[in-house]
Structures are given as structure tokens and as C-alpha cells.
Structure 1
Amino acid sequence: MMALVSAGARRPIRLRAMRAFRAILQQGSVTAAARTLGLTQPAASRLLAQLEQDLGFELFHRDRGRLVPTADGLMLYEEVERALDNVDRVQDLARDISDFRVGRLRLVAPPSFLEAILPDVIAAFLDQYPRVHLSIDSHGVETTKSMIASRAVDAGFVKLPLNRDDLDARTVLVSETACVLPSDHPLAEREEVTAQDLKNTPLVLLGQGRRFRSQVEAAFAEAGVAPRVRVETHTVASSCALVARGVGVAIVNERLAQAYVRDRTVLRPFRPGILHEYAFVVSNSVKPSRLAEAFFALALAQGAPPTGGA
């Protein structure tokens, strides 16, 4: 119902009646207006009669079958025209929102995940929803979780475990750990590489103080080997770039590393196995937006294991 109502009206003016009034005034007759609106002539006449009754004044003079707008009718028409234009804009916007033609999606993701996995997801998302504004930021793990929980962003990607009860997580990617080696490295001939194999080998290691780094160090400790760390870094991309330049051997997330392994480097599974699990995470205080759900669906498809070998 529209709020356009006169002081003496018994009920608000109905949108359908407003459209009928506008069409009758513009077309000059009830019959022509009815055709424009897809109504029968009696139906359009009833809408006009009911509108005049609700308003308490005449909108048209009846002159030998002709309808001539009254001064009151012309005054009301100006406001009706503006109101219906606004209604049309609201309906257009509602259709755009429903069809994902407009909107905003704010995400946060770890740098390596953003660089290795999400570019294809982002491209596919924007191809489907070209008028949606998408922003993706990167922060430390705890800041990322807090941003999602407080709804500073709509959703994000976080490496599990979460260890929080104010977030909901859905796994999008599970990966093994692998070694990135120069293609001419002696260990490149192996089908897999163990911690024992890496004794005295210069290493490029990630995540000082993180759970994955502790797991890697535990694997070396179990093998009775002291890791020879040559470089500490924080992204899979930088690790692979250093390996390609002969700095050392990197131990990284296999799925993320596949984006950076080139002609001068190869991937080999690292043993004992260490799993990496990433999840699409939202605050559990609100239902995810439809845009967030659409992005999740694309990320889930991208996170599936590739059909070809690395």
C-alpha cells in the first residue's frame, strides 16, 4: 500500500488504483487506459470510481462520454506521477538485487590462499555478477577471525582449526604437504621426500610460530633430523620463487604451490603426511548473504582436486 492519502480518505490509495488513474489521464479515456494496463474497461472504471470514493472528490468531469481532469485531479496527478516513478525505481532495484546485478561483497583471506586459489574464483564470480562490488583483504589469522565474527566483512577463508564458537565453517579445500625442489635436485628423482631425506638440505620454511610449522618441526624431530633452515618466509609464492633461484627446498601446502611450480621446479609429496584444511567462514550470528553463498559455491568447485597432475 502507498502512503499517499488525503485527510478525508477512508483508506490509503492502492497502487493499482494510482496506475489506473495515471493511465486514464494520460490516455484520455478509460478504454484506452484499460488496454494499456491489460484490464477490461469495466475493471478500469471500477478502479477509478473506487479511487474517487476513497478520496472524497472527483478526479474527472464527465462531459458527454469524455473525461476531463478536474483541478483537484490535475493537482493529484503530479504527486501520483512522482510516487509511481519512485515505485518503479524500487521495483527495478529489487529485480537487480534479486538477479545479483548490484550489491557488495566483502571478504578476507590468507595471502597465499588469495593468490593461488581465489583468482579463478573471483574471475568466475565477476563474470556472473559483473555489477557487484567485490573487496578482498588479507590479515593475520586472529584478526581475520575477529573481522568475520564482528561482521566487518561478510565472510572469509580461514585455515582450520578455528577454535572459536562464534564462527561457522564449511570446508572448501583439503591438501597434502609437498616439497618444492629445483628440477635438477637429486631428490627430484624420488616419488616422495621424507624428513630423513632432507638432512643437511637448505630449507625454505613458512609460518614461524604457526601450527603447520610445528608439525613440520615435529616430523623432523621424529626422524632425528635437525632442519637446516636457510630462509624464513610467509607466503607460498615467495617460497616457490626462492626454490626456483636455488636457495633451498620448500615444504608447503601442495595445492597452493601448484599455482607457482614452473619449469625450474617440481613438487614431490612430503612424508610423513601433513594435511591442510581451509574453510569458508561466516559469523554464526547472521545468515550468510546470497552473494556470499554464490561465492562459496564457486570456491568449493575451485577447491576440488585438479584433474591433471602437478
Structure 2
Amino acid sequence: MNPTQQNISLKSLEAFSAIIKTGSATAAAKQLSLTQPGISRLLALLEDHIGFQLFYREKGRLIPTDEALTLVKEVDLTLMSVDRISLLANNIFKSNLGQLRLVAPNSFIAGPLANVVTDFLAKHPKVKISLDTHSPERAREIVAHRSADCGFIQLPENHPGLICERLVSSNTVCAVSSEHKLAKFKRLTCKDLAGEDLILLGKGRYSRLQIENVFLRDKVPLQVRLETHTVAIACTFAKQNIGIAIVNEMLAKQYANAGLVLIPFSPKIVHEYAFITSAHAPMNRLTESFYQHCKIYFEKMNKDVEHK
């Protein structure tokens, strides 16, 4: 064995395997898209490295030695392993493999994100996704510290550890029981809701502040009968005719049915959501692929909202 040659060339192993399979350097060269002298040089390099002859000639053919036949099984296993590595790398490159960890509000996961994730998994069948829901405060920290790859959060947002990419917006609607006297209205204003029992999402939210401001501006007292923290609960009680829920249209759509109608609220109050990642490291390929997938999906949704 040549002590100056440290590593066996992968190309030399491929040439060796091809010669055994085809029986000649010329056929092996054709199989590997190389020249015959090129194949011969690769074989010579391999024999120089291992220190013994691998073939002898008989009637114009290259016949493997016993040593070569002993070696070829291991060589083929090595080449198969390289092929698996190549396939794995290709899957990673195309975002066809890996696990994606994301956080989002529960109502967002059950609503528009359900379709996004389902479509993404259909296109990337070997990808696994971990979905979790937390309070906005906790979600910010989880993504900022990279315990999750990405997340979705309602704007405005100014956490220094996050990169926020505005993704989708939604209007505000009134979720009204089909039995309510206002159920036939095409649009509802603060004045229409004067004296009506209302269902609002809990205080402290930016959207809640916007609602309070428009009622204050129009000098209409808010008659809040029920407060909750989820759109699902708000819509459930609205359907029971406990009150009229003022909610995010995008999140409420899944609850609209024969017993519950969604009526646009005026003036327009817009809810905006962003895709968030940590500011401390770039997105990996799988997260970037998921982000691009989300952009395409929500760009169409945004256009639909704008046309209303």
C-alpha cells in the first residue's frame, strides 16, 4: 500500500465496480461517461493504494482476481451508502425531510393554518410538523430563543429577538345568531349595536382597544355581556343568542353555519398576522420552504379580503 496516499478515491471505487459488472474498461468507461484511459488511471490509482492487482487479462477481458471478488461486496455497500447520503442531502435541499416546530394561537391553528399545514404535508410527505399553542408572550420567547422554528403572531409586534414578516390580514365581523333581529343586515355599525348584548374577546388585546375606540368615537356605550379569550367560545355563545360577538372574520369563518351568520362590521377594523422567526439565526431550509408556502397561500387570501 502506498503510504503517501491517505484516502481511496470514490471515483476509483466506482471504476472498479463498473469494470467487474461490465467485464472491460471500455464498457465501464461508457457506463460512467468517462474515457477508457480515464478508467484505467482510476483502476491504477486504486491498485496502487491497496498494494495488489485486482484484474488480469484473458482473451481481451478483464478478469477479477480472488482478492477483487472479496473486495467488491464491500465496495458496492460503500457506494450504496454514498447514494443514500446523496439522496438524503437532496431531500434536505428540497425540504422533503425533517421536523418543523411551530407555535400559533389555537384559533389560528384550527382556522386558516389547518389548510396551510395540510397542503404543505401533502407536498412534503416525509416532513413532520409539531404544532403548539401558547400565550402571545410565551410564543414570542419560544421562537426568539429557537425552541420553535417559527410561529404566527398578531401585529403590532416589536420584540427585539424576532423577525416579523407580515403575512395575512382579516376584517372584523359580527357573529350573529340566525334567530337575532339583526341577522338579515348586510353591515353593522356601532349605532346598530347600541343597546345590544355583546361578546368581546378579553381586554388587553390590540383589536379590543380598536373596538372600544370606535364605540367611544361614535358615543355608543359598550354593553358587554360576555368576555372570553377565544373566537371559538365567542362564536359558540353568539350562536346561542347570548349576544353578538365582534370577532376576526378569518378565524370565525369555520364556525359560520345555518345557525350563525357573519356580518361585516363598520368601520373596518383590520387584524394583521405575521410569520415570526428568531433574529439570532437565519431560517433553515425547511422553515424557509414553509414560509414561502405560507406566503403563496395567504397572498391569495389577502387579495380575496381586499376585493370585499
Q: TM-score range by the shorter chain?
A: 0.7 to 0.9
Matched, 1:112 2:107: yes
- Contact 1:9/1:55 (8 A) holds in 2: no
Q: 2:231 matched to which residue of 1?
A: 236
Query: Aligned residues: percent identity?
Result: 42
| SS of structure 1 residue aligned to 2:183 | helix
Equivalent of residue 292 in structure 2, options 283, 294, 297: 297
Q: 1:275 matched to which residue of 2?
A: 270
Q: Return closer, same or farther for 1:199/1:78 CA change in 2, 3 Å cut-off.
A: same
Q: 2:279 matched to which residue of 1?
A: 284
- TM-score normalised by structure 1 residue count: 0.86
Equivalent of residue 254 in structure 1, options 240, 249, 254: 249
Q: 1:3 matched to which residue of 2?
A: none
Q: 2:203 matched to which residue of 1?
A: 208
Unaligned runs of 5+ in 1: 1-5
Q: 1:171 matched to which residue of 2?
A: 166
Deviations 1:50-101 (A, max 9, x none): 3223444433345665544456545544543332221111012122223333
Give RMSD over aligned pairs: 2.7
Q: 1:30 matched to which residue of 2?
A: 25
Distance between the aligned counterparts of 2:297 and 2:57, measured in 1? 68
Q: Which amino acid aligns with 2:210?
A: Q
Equivalent of residue 40 in structure 2, options 22, 42, 45: 45
Q: Which amino acid aligns with 1:36?
A: Q
Equivalent of residue 20 in structure 1, options 2, 9, 15: 15
- Contact 1:108/1:153 (8 A) holds in 2: yes
Q: Which amino acid aligns with 2:115?
A: D
Number of residue pairs aligned between Structure 1 and Structure 2: 305
What's the CA shift for 1:22?
Answer: 1.9
Distance between the aligned counterparts of 2:219 and 2:181, measured in 1? 21
Distance between the aligned counterparts of 2:236 and 2:28, measured in 1? 71
What's the CA shift for 1:40?
Answer: 3.6
Q: Which amino acid aligns with 2:283?
A: P
- Contact 1:121/1:295 (8 A) holds in 2: no
| SS of structure 2 residue aligned to 1:186 | coil
- Contact 1:170/1:279 (8 A) holds in 2: yes
Question: Which shows bigger deviation, 207-216 or 278-287?
Answer: 207-216
Equivalent of residue 125 in structure 1, options 96, 101, 120: 120
- Contact 1:24/1:33 (8 A) holds in 2: yes
What's the CA shift for 1:16?
Answer: 0.9
Deviations 1:135-187 (A, max 9, x none): 21111101111111111111111101122122111111112222111234333
- Contact 1:8/1:56 (8 A) holds in 2: no
Q: 1:82 matched to which residue of 2?
A: 77
What's the CA shift for 1:18?
Answer: 1.0
Distance between the aligned counterparts of 1:39 and 1:291, measured in 2? 36
Q: 1:137 matched to which residue of 2?
A: 132
Distance between the aligned counterparts of 2:78 and 2:282, measured in 1? 33
- Contact 2:189/2:266 (8 A) holds in 1: yes
Q: Which amino acid aligns with 1:260?
A: Y
Distance between the aligned counterparts of 1:207 and 1:228, measured in 2? 14
Distance between the aligned counterparts of 1:200 and 1:152, measured in 2? 47
Distance between the aligned counterparts of 1:99 and 1:11, measured in 2? 34
Q: Which amino acid aligns with 1:214?
A: L
Distance between the aligned counterparts of 1:302 and 1:91, measured in 2? 31
| SS of structure 2 residue aligned to 1:87 | helix
Question: Which shows bigger deviation, 198-207 or 181-190?
Answer: 181-190
Deviations 1:256-307 (A, max 9, x none): 2223222232222323432211011111222223332332233334332464
Q: Return closer, same or farther for 1:256/1:58 CA change in 2, 3 Å cut-off.
A: same
Q: Which amino acid aligns with 2:94?
A: D
Distance between the aligned counterparts of 1:181 and 1:233, measured in 2? 16
Deviations 1:105-149 (A, max 9, x none): 111111111112112212221221122112211111011111111
Distance between the aligned counterparts of 2:297 and 2:87, measured in 1? 33
